[in-house]
Structure formats: C-alpha cells, structure tokens
Structure 1
C-alpha cells in the first residue's frame, strides 16, 4: 500500500512540475509581460535615429574607401546603422574585415551577417550600433538560383526604451522578375507572424519593438513593398524625395525603413541626401552608388 501511495504522490508531483513549467511559459502571459502596450506621455517619448546604407562592396571595379565610408556613417549621427554589400576578408577588398574596420573607425559595436562566400572570403550585411548588440541571428533567405541573400536579426537595448529593439537588416534580390523578392518578403513576414517560433532565442519577438531596414531592390509601387506593408509601416514624410539609386542621379527608391505595426511612431525627421549637394560635409554620390536613408523616430505607443 505504501509503495502504491508513493507512486501516486510521485505522479502528482511530476504533473505539478510539468504544469508549473507550462504555466511559466504561457505564451499569452509572457507576451504581455515582455512588451505590453503602452502610450508614452508628452515629453517622455523615447527617440532613436536609425539609418540604412548600401556601401557598394559588391559593385564592379569599385574600390571602397573605408575612411570615406566611416566619415559618411559618422555624419549620419545615427544610433543604429544597417549596411548592405559588406565584404569580409575577400581578395577584392584586400582581405579586410570591412564591418570590423568600420566599427573601429566609427567607435560603434558591430555584427556581420554572412550571405554567401565571395572571392576567398564572405559577403553580406552588417549592423553598427552605439549600444552593445546583445544577440544576433542570420537567416538565409529563399534565393532560388540567384545569388544567396540573407536577413540579420539583432537584439539591442537602447537607453530610454522600456523594451529591447529588434533590428532586421536585409538585402533583396535585384532581378527584374520579382518572384524571389516576393518569397524573401514573405519569409520576413513569417517571422513577424511568429511562424518560425523563435521564442528560445528571441522571447516574445512578436510583441516587441521591431524595425526593418535594407536595400529591397523594390520601389514603393512594387508588389514586394505592398507585401511588406501587411505587417510593417514604411517610414515616410511629406515632401521628402525617397529616391536612392543610382546615387549620381537617383531615379529609384530601393532602400527603405519600416517599423512594426505593433508600435506607433512619429517620424521627426527623414533625411535622404540625394540632391547631389554636400550634406554634413559629405559628397554622397562619391561614397557609394546608393544614397542612405536616415530617420529620427519618436515612439508614441509601444
């Protein structure tokens, strides 16, 4: 009888343990605790400046001047800068780890996200931040038979924000046929919709503060951008010309910044120095074949 009671008690204890573990991991509860909806009072609304810049590491016969690129990044005075076309120890870039060098020259933290091997090294994207980058993950995007592209996801704690900021950085395919770009956009949306179940690495990402930046090789009227619009708000401001490529005489708006629909932001300032004139001491068409997109954002509702 005592042996039977022992097993009953043991089973009850095991059930209780399992229940408590499950209760602690309850998705509804933990999502709320992670990033609860909050409206900030006037004067207490946190601000951040983010920028995206394709630095032309993969441009044919282009020899990147890292001092010039670093000065351009410093001229943006952004808290977080996402970069595309970044070489890591390739022969065409003299074996330099470009993201590391740029981080050293700008005094920022960095992570590199490999998309593919290239000329004896790697090629992909990077994120620079004034604040430590707590965690980073690289996803290979569906790329068909074309050049492999990737997505970076970084978790960054920014002072004055109640919750971490999740920065997405990507570089989409460039071919005229847009099926691959559509699949790349849908892959990103699947993360937002929590289809990939990243809770172990990025707990409650679906309710977090998310900002997506990159070179999407798609203009505002493309269906690729409309696909992203399902889950994101494109950062824009009345009167701002959004064309970013080719830098010498921009005709296409290929580079964009998006914020998650979870949040409400005010676009305090949107700067795209595409008129050919110097801005903050930089002649931008001489740095890269893309013009950067720089946004100063104020968070109204988390």
Structure 2
C-alpha cells in the first residue's frame, strides 16, 4: 500500500496520509520534556473510552480537564483513547487529542474514523515517548449492516533505551449482532501478524470474554486480565469490554498488574490500566 508523508516545518507536526486512510491524520510531539530519560523495565498502559469528554451525568457538558485528571493520576506511559472529538460542534471546536496530550506533556496521534459535526471523530494514541510511522487501518464492515466505520490506529513507539514497539488503539462495532466485530478483530489480527515489532493493543472491543470476538483476540494476543473486572456502566458495572493486550513472539512481555479505575464522573466507561514488564 503506497503512502506519503507531508512534513509541516511549522509546529513540528507530522501529517500522515495513506491509501487505506483517505484522510489526513495528525501526529504531534508533546511539549518540551517528553523525551526525559528513564530507566526502562516496564510500561504502564491505559485504555480509556472518553465519551468525547462528556460526563454522562451532565448531558451537553464538555469537561476535558476531568479526563486529563483521570489519566494524570495513573501516570501512564501509553494511553489508547476512544470516542475522541476533533473540532466538532458539540465539543466547541477543540482538538481533544492535541489538547489532552498538551496538558499531559505527551506525544499524540489522532486517527479519524468518521467526519462528524464539522470536524472529526475517532481514536487516539498518547505516549510519553516519541511516536513515528503512524498508520490508520480501516476495518471492514458488512455493507448491509450499515455499521459505523471503525479503525485501528497504530504508531511505532521508541523507548528511552532504544527499544521499539507498535502501539494500537481501536473501537469495534457496537451493534448487537457480532458480525462486524468479528470481521474487524480478524483484520486487526492480520495486521498484527504482519508486524515484526512487539505489539500492544488497547481499546473498547464492545465484546465480553467468551464471545467470538474476544476468543479471536485471545488467539493472537494475551490480555492483561483473564478474570476481567467490568468496565461499563460506570455505576454498578456489569460487563468487561475494554481491554489491554499484547503480542510478543519473543515472550518478553509479562503482566505485573491490571486494574479497572473506579472513576465514575468523567466518562461512561471506566478506564483500565496495566503494568507490563519487559524482559531484557
């Protein structure tokens, strides 16, 4: 697949366009200090569906700082966000991925799934470490289902000791019928199988453990939880649908901890974090 890169000299922002993408996506560095040296032995990874920064208890309100505060308290190295607005009417024209990254002093990549309300809507990656080779993979949907277009956004992460890995964020189809989710997870597995780098994947899979979708995920990746605590709804949660998973042919990843964060105001999903050890 042929792709091209356009380097914008002002703002040090890299824009990526690909034939699979059909639109430009933004990849931006965090402010100064995002390259700080760190003795590297583990990664703290977060998956968070942020509901376009709208607290479910306050319809119409955008509270971006509540999302930022929730993320900051966990001090993650990598964050996969879903339901991110970029310059939409309902979110006041704010580039949410860029603004969240700026407040957290992190690098970011936003991947557009759809055009929405004069702006864009999709998923994003945040990273304490430099991002490169960002790609938006369009995921399949059966035409007759009229499902909302879905994507997998990935980027290469370069860690302080020079180690590189592939990090991805996704948000699978939400329809009751699982046909699109299973098509989409098969495509993600196909992408991951062709990737030579270690692969960390996080997101909202709209499927629970034991379903066909998660069984397919488990054939190619290792989830950071097996008996997974529920992530929705935020009040009295009953279902686990937000996951972090990894794929490393060399077997160098292992899970130190996995937890669901009991933050019930900022979004309609509870965030998930995991500490992943990396063996040298």
TM-score w.r.t. structure 2 length? Answer: 0.79
Structure 1 segments of 4 or more deviating over 4 A? Answer: none
Partner of 2:186: 186
Does residue 1:167 correspond to 2:167, yes or no?
Answer: yes
Question: 1:235–1:257: 8 Å Cα contact kept in structure 2?
Answer: yes
Question: 1:45–1:300: 8 Å Cα contact kept in structure 2?
Answer: no
Partner of 1:146: 147
Does residue 1:122 correspond to 2:120, yes or no?
Answer: yes
Aligned length: 235
Once the two structures are TM-superposed, the CA of residue 266 in structure 1 deviates from its matched residue by: 2.4
Once the two structures are TM-superposed, the CA of residue 58 in structure 1 deviates from its matched residue by: 8.4
Does residue 1:227 correspond to 2:220, yes or no?
Answer: no
Which residues of structure 1 form unaligned runs of 5+?
1-43, 195-204, 275-283
- Choose from 268, 285, 289 the match for 2:268: 289
Once the two structures are TM-superposed, the CA of residue 193 in structure 1 deviates from its matched residue by: 2.5
Cα distance in 2 between the residues matched to 1:89 and 1:223: 36
Partner of 1:49: 44
Root mean square deviation of aligned Cα: 1.9
- Choose from 233, 249, 266 the match for 1:246: 233
* More strand per residue: 2
Once the two structures are TM-superposed, the CA of residue 237 in structure 1 deviates from its matched residue by: 6.3
Q: 1:123 to 1:58 in 2, by over 3 A?
A: farther
CA displacement 1:169-208 (0-9 Å, x = unmatched) = 10001111000000000001111222xxxxxxxxxx2x31
Once the two structures are TM-superposed, the CA of residue 299 in structure 1 deviates from its matched residue by: 1.7
Larger Rg: 1
Once the two structures are TM-superposed, the CA of residue 226 in structure 1 deviates from its matched residue by: 0.3
Cα distance in 2 between the residues matched to 1:244 and 1:55: 12
Cα distance in 2 between the residues matched to 1:181 and 1:242: 21
Which residues of structure 2 form unaligned runs of 5+?
1-38
Partner of 2:67: 69
Question: 1:216–1:255: 8 Å Cα contact kept in structure 2?
Answer: yes
Once the two structures are TM-superposed, the CA of residue 209 in structure 1 deviates from its matched residue by: 1.0
Cα distance in 1 between the residues matched to 2:273 and 2:107: 18
Question: 2:198–2:248: 8 Å Cα contact kept in structure 1?
Answer: no
Partner of 2:19: none
Q: 1:187 to 1:63 in 2, by over 3 A?
A: same
Once the two structures are TM-superposed, the CA of residue 135 in structure 1 deviates from its matched residue by: 2.2
- Choose from 128, 132, 135 the match for 1:134: 132
Does residue 1:269 correspond to 2:269, yes or no?
Answer: no
Question: 2:42–2:276: 8 Å Cα contact kept in structure 1?
Answer: yes
CA displacement 1:92-135 (0-9 Å, x = unmatched) = 10111001110111111111000000111100001111111122
